[in-house]
Each structure stands twice: as structure tokens, then as C-alpha cells.
Structure 1
Amino acid sequence: MSDKNTENVVRRLSRVRERLHAGMDRREFVRTLASAGYAVGMAHFLGVDDFLETDDGDVPVVTALVRERDDDPFSLEKRTRTVPAEWYAAVEKAFEVNDLLAKSKVMGYLGSAVVPGDYRSGTASVTIGLTGDASFVGDVLGTVADDIGLDIERFDDGDDDGFETIEEFRNGRDGVTRQPRLARDGRTGTAPGGVTCETDSSMATLGPAMYDPESKSEYFVTAEHAFDAEDAVVGEALTLPTESEESFDLGTVSVDHPVADLVAVEPSGELEPINQIDTSPPSSVRGQFTRWGLADLLARGEPLEKVGAMTGHTTGEIQGIDAVTCFTDDFCRHGQIRWGGEMDLIDGDSGSVSYHPDPENPEEGILIAGFNNARTWWPGQSYVWGISAYQVTNSLGYHF
């Protein structure tokens, strides 16, 4: 099919999609497709292929990838739940608006995030960070953003009410002097997430085991920026200090992912990665949330948690999902989570993961939401940001 024909098909499908309003029953849905000259099978291309399989007013979404067997990290199965069709349509539209903004490449755009409303409201909004004139938002979106709330955040000026320095938070306002959380003992043969790991130049937090389903490999994982290397950090060593003052060799960096800000560390064999977070009792990782799983958590007002090497265990509200962050470097980071506040992450906490108890089996373990990379330092903002677990899987192929 030629590019021109493809554009025409996409345009026609978009018009049909606009007619598939929330609350439409199956019979009306089929009539709408037929009147536009499409078979029911075209529902797949409209992104509503599950519409016909549900009760009127509900749509099934995949919320998580969860282990079928606890002893097999590669036995992931999709978990679904039904959500209100009106809410689904609003959030799906917000995802599209956010994607359009990210692709706009307009000067002044610093990032954006989708904020689903609760299920009862059936709404969603997009938070947009920018400098300068906000008129470009209307130019880029046109009428595409109808019925989607737009929350414009300007960063031209303003006072920063946050901490002036990391040291001020670490040793100052809250009156607590923090010490690194060290693994108790490396002689167990494993190293859990949530404890201190060290590079040649700094310290970070070790994440739980990360898996590559293609090679059936398992890795240690931490933040890429913990390695102070001018070039790629492949081959750099990672170690595990312990409370006994004995250090263990975790391994060397096998693959460097600077945009995602994480590294896959191949175990040396002295210790093995484990799908646990160092809590009391230990929290077992059973899988990870999808994009719709994060939307579901936000809609239900559920928080995220993390265990960092410096700040330990903290809990915070989700502020935005599917976020784009362009505040740093000369590129944008996609598929991010915004959650918690600036007090939830300080130097040494990078490399930790955000998580939530498994909604269906909270006593059996947790599901990973994302990977914590940094906290805000710009005026008027207060959250932790990092790459979502689903984005790690979609863009890099790994899973937790």
C-alpha cells in the first residue's frame, strides 16, 4: 500500500473511531462500522477489538504480566480486568494527545504526562510542561484534545520551594542523618533489591533481578548514571558492600542503556540476582504492571512504594503515567512514571524500583511499576521520575 493510501486509511479510521462513543452498545457499534464500509474485524485497527467481547459499558484491559509459577520467572501470563468504557475512551484519548505532543518537537516543550481520572468521573487529563508561549499547544493539537483536560505548567520563573541541596535533606530539615542500607550478609549466595551497591565512583541502589526472555538470562540492575565513565560503561564492575564490612563481586556491566538510565550487570557467579526487595519480611516480585495497570492504580487512588539505599521505604501517590521527560540531556525520555515527592529519592536511591502489592494476591508478593532514576529539582514540581516497567519491556526486552 502506498504512503498516500495508508494516510487515507488512517484518516478514515480516525473518523470512525471518533464515532465510537462511550456507552455505545454492540449493535450500534456494528452498524457504525458497517456504515463506514468496514468489517467487524477492522475493530482491531481501531484499538477496540475487545469491544464486542464485553458487556455493554465495559472494556477489558491487560493490567499486568504475572508469573504463572513462582519458581519460573519466564512463565509470565497476562492479567486482565474490565474497566468502564467511558473512562477507557478518555484515557485512550489522553494517551493519543500525549503521544502527539511528544512527537511535535516544538521549542519550549519540556514534557507531559497522562493523568487518568477516577472510574466514576470517566475523565482523563494531560499535564504539559513548557517554557515561553503556550499557544503552540493549540496549534499542535487542534481539536484532537476535545474532552481532554489540559493542565499547562510554565517554567519561566518562580521560586523553588524544595531543598536547595541533597545534603540539606539528608542531614537537615527532617533532623535525620541517613546511613546506607547495606545487605546483611552476602554468604546467602543472593543479593536482593533495595540495598546499596557500589561502582568505582559512587553508590546506588540495587534493583531486583531483571530477566531477558530471549536469552533466558538474569541480571543485576542499577542506574547507569552511577558509573562515572566518559564513554560506555560496559565492562565496569559492580560490588555489594555488607554490614559485615565484607564486599562481594556482583559482576560487570553487560549492556549499557543510557536513555533508560539502567545497566544490565552479568553476575560473576559469586552472588546471584533474586526477585526480592529487602523488606521485612522480604517482598517477592511476581511480575509487573502494564500501562493500563498503572492507569488502573491511579484511577483507584493506589500509591506506589520503593525501598532505596538511603531513604529506605517510602510511599507516594502516582502523579502521571506514560510521561515524557525532556528536562535533561538533549533527548526526551518516554514511558516514564511520576510519583511521590522530592523527599522520596536522594543521591544513592537511584536504581531502586517503584512497586505495589499484587492487587489480586497482596500477601503473596508485589508487582513492579517502574525504575527510579531521579527526582525533580526544577521550580514548582515535586515528584520522582523514572522509566516504567512496561517501557523497559517494550523498548529493551527485559522484564522484572
Structure 2
Amino acid sequence: MEGTHTEHLVHRIATIRDRIETGMDRREFLRTLVTGGYALGVAGALGVDDFLAADDGEVPIVTAHVRADPDDPWSLEERTRYVPAEWYAAVTKALELNELLARTAFTGYLGSAVVPGSYDSGTATVSVGISSDPTSLRESLDGLLDGISLDIETIGEIEDIEQGPQDIEPRVVGSLTGNDVPSGVACETADSIATLGPVMYDPSSESEFFVTAEHAFDGGADTNGDHLSLPIEESDSIELGPVSHAHPAEDVAAITPEGRVQPSNAIDTPSPSRVRGQLTRLGLADLIARDEQLEKVGAVTGHTTGRIQGIDAVTCFTDNFCRHGQIRWGGEMDLTDGDSGSVSYYADPIGDEEDVLIAGFNNARTWWPGQSYVWGVGAYRLTEMYGYHF
């Protein structure tokens, strides 16, 4: 059985995209396709057709999906960036290896994440958390890494989630002067306080949703009766609407607006902000390569920033299932009870001054020794799974 897994890993990792290495010019690339029995038209199917338009040693990646018209959520366009081919090949291999580790689900596997290196290094690392001796894992993967670093950490027994402070004072809306509710403020379920996220769109029905963490509903959000409300200073709460979609693995609940207020693409940040789009998986990798940071605004801890520690992470620490497509960033002090449902974001370097791009949700923080980060599902994962976007 171990031999079968090994052959599968080798087959999946050795793709045409991996052949794009530093120094491979367009002529050599074309020759690789021809000698491999591929027609030129297959370049589009492989996702490497833009390689023919790049400088030698570079490849294009899609870093974000951004609205051409800020007021039209359906006008999304791809934003691209040219990156070193050696770095791209390393990150792609690491993403594939990380996915296969999760699928194999070997004994003691607790989670893993991809950590791209800098552009100059042209490297990537897969960070793996296990509860057993790492020797057998290293032996199984010996010869398969092909330039990918493996960082294995043995994690002791994980206790129940620590409870944060109970006497929290969340940031609530002072008053409503219009019909739109900004994100980054407190919202209420029948059981707890969470943070309201920015408007989430469903292109299949052209619907708009309020959104927050699914675990804020005790026992999980119920589409047959659970509602979300908005607390207001010195006033009664306003009902926002019923839960329409609940996604426990991603820890996201979508709420259909049915009251007098609507979800907004504004975030209650220290300076005015407006969601203009969202980052892709490789867009997050690009930020790590350039040592950029993410930001968030939670209803309790407010505005914080932190570096990205891993992308496409798999987290198997808390439930009887694993969560895929996670982002690890910041530190455990960047999130506490009541902040769940907030989003991490990055200032759009090309858009208007107030424009930001969503990275993902913030759903939990580490509470076990040796690691310190906030984790939550990436926006790209929600798009891939359900079509949602910001």
C-alpha cells in the first residue's frame, strides 16, 4: 500500500507545469510540449499559455479578482503579476504535496500548510504537524520532495479549546443613519456574540448575504430557524435575517437580508475602506514572498496586523473532520471570543486609496503550545467550493 501512495505522489507532482524552470525560454518550452506529444492548444488547458508572453524565467499568475466597477459586484476581472518561474514551480509542487498529504491522512496527521519562500530564494516549504514520531514520514517522503523543504513539528496532546474572557465589550454600531451596515462590528446569534463580515455575493442567484462564523450558533447554524441580529448602542437589536446557508467545515454562515438594513462592502476600519475584490491562493503566496502583512478588524480586539504564516493549510485539530483551504497569519493575540467572523484583508495597491482585497475569514486562534497564529478559511476556497465571492 505504501508503494501505491508513493507512485501516486510521484505521478501527481511530476506535471508539465513543473517543467517551467528558471532559464527555460519559450523555444525550449515549445520543444518540451512537442517532444511530449502535446499539441500547442493544450497550453491553454494546462494553464500555461500566458507563459509564451512572459520574459524568460518568468511566468504570470492570477493574484486577485477585482471589480472593474466598484459599484458592480459582478464585474470581476483577473489581476496578474509576473513571478520567477523557479519560485512558481516550487510553490506549485508544495501545494500539490500538501494536498496529497491531507488526502493520504496518515496516522498522527494533525494538519499542514504551504509556506512560500522569497522570490530570490525560489523555494517553498510544507509545514506539517503530527502527533507521532516524524521518522516514518520523512522516510516515506524521501526522494519525493524534489527541492521542497519539509518542516515537521510533533505536537503533544491537544486539550479542549481554552475559553477566552467572558466579560467582553464588543464594538457595536452606535446608530444607523442609512440602510447599510459596515463589517467589523458585533452581531448576535441566540447564543453568542460574533463579528459581522462584509457582504458576500452568490453569482448563481445574484444574491447578497450578511455573513459571520457558523460556530457562533450553538450546535451549528440551522437553516430552519436561526437568525442573526445587530446590537445597537442604547437601543434594541435589529434583526438582519435568517440563516440561508451553513457551511460547518468552512465555518461560514450566510444570512439573507430581510430587515430594513443591507450588508455593505465597507469595513469599520481606522480609515475608510471598501472591499474591491479578493486574493487568490497564489495572490497570498505572492504576499508571503514579498513579506507583506494582512489586517483585520474584530468586534472585540479591533484593528490588528500580522504576517502570513501559511496558505492552503489543512487543520485537523478541533473536530472529527479536517478543514481545508485555511490561512494562517498573525498571532494568537490577534483574535479572541467575539472576533470570529471577521475578515483578513490587504490594502489594494492599484485601486483607490480606500480599496482592500479580502484574504479570508478569521475563525479561531491557536491555543496549543509552540504555535501562534489566527486561522480561518481563504476567500478563494469559498469561491472554489460554492462560487461565493466578495
Q: Please confirm whether the aligned pair reaches a TM-score higher than 0.5, indicating the same fold.
A: yes
Name the counterpart of 2:322.
332
Change (3 A) 1:309 1:42: same
Query: Which string of whole-angstrom CA distances, capped at 9 and with x for unpartnered residues, describes residues 104-148 of structure 1?
Result: 121111111111111111111110000112234345534231201
Q: In structure 2, do the counterparts of structure 1 residues 25 and 231 end up closer, same or farther at CA, with 3 Å as the change threshold?
A: closer
Residues 194-205 of structure 1 aligned to structure 2 (within 5 Å): 194-205=184-195
- Report how far residue 191 of structure 1 moved: 1.0
Matched, 1:397 2:387: yes
Deviation readout 1:218-253 (Å, 9 max, x if unpaired): 000000110113673543111101123331111110
Structure 2: how far apart are the matches of 1:136 and 1:24? 36
**Structure 1, unaligned runs of 5 or more:** 1-6, 172-177
Aligned to 2:39: 39
CA offsets, 1:57-112, max 9 Å, x none?
11111000101111111111111111111111111111111111111121111111
1:1-400 equivalences in 2 (<5 Å): 11=11, 14=14, 19-44=19-44, 46-138=46-138, 140-156=140-156, 165-167=163-165, 179-229=169-219, 232-361=222-351, 363-400=353-390
Shift of 1:156: 2.9
Flag the 1:230–1:44 CA change in 2: closer, same or farther, 3 A: closer
Shift of 1:35: 2.2
Q: How far is the alpha carbon of 1:281 from its aligned partner?
A: 3.4
CA shift digits 1:341-375 (9 cap, x unpaired): 11000000000000010021361310000011100
Q: State the match for 1:174 in structure 2.
A: none
Distance 1:370-1:230 versus aligned 2 partners, 3 A rule = closer
Aligned-partner residue type, residue 25 of structure 1: D
1:372/1:18 CA distance change after superposition, 3 Å: closer
1:103 alignment partner AA: R
Q: In 2, distance between residues paired with 1:259 and 1:92?
A: 24
Provide the secondary structure at the position in 1 that maps to 2:29: helix
The CA deviation at 1:15 is 6.5
CA distance in 1, matches of 2:305, 2:15: 42
For residues 293-325 of structure 1, what are the alpha-carbon distances to aligned partners after superposition, in whole Å with 9 as ceiling and x for unaligned? 101111111111100011000111100001111
Normalised by the size of structure 2, how large is the TM-score? 0.92
Write the distance in 2 (CA, Å) between the matches of 1:11 and 1:293. 26
RMSD over equivalenced CA pairs, Å: 2.4
The one-letter amino acid paired with 2:85 is A
Q: Distance in 2 between matches of 1:190 and 1:55?
A: 46
The answer (yes or no) to whether the contact 1:227–1:233 under 8 Å persists in 2 is no
The answer (yes or no) to whether the contact 2:131–2:157 under 8 Å persists in 1 is no
Identity of aligned residues (%): 61
Q: 1:358 to 1:231 in 2, by over 3 A?
A: closer
The number of residue pairs the alignment matches comes to: 382
Taking the aligned partners of 1:145 and 1:234, their CA distance within structure 2 comes to: 48
TM (normalized to structure 1)?
0.89
Runs of 4+ in 1 over 6 A off after TM superposition: none
Aligned equivalents of 2:174, 2:324: Cα separation in 1: 36
**One-letter amino acid of the structure 2 residue matched with residue 68 of structure 1:** A
Indicate how the Cα distance of structure 1 residues 96 and 242 shifts in structure 2: closer, same or farther if over 3 A, else same.
Answer: same
Contact 1:100–1:141 (CA under 8 A) maintained in structure 2: no
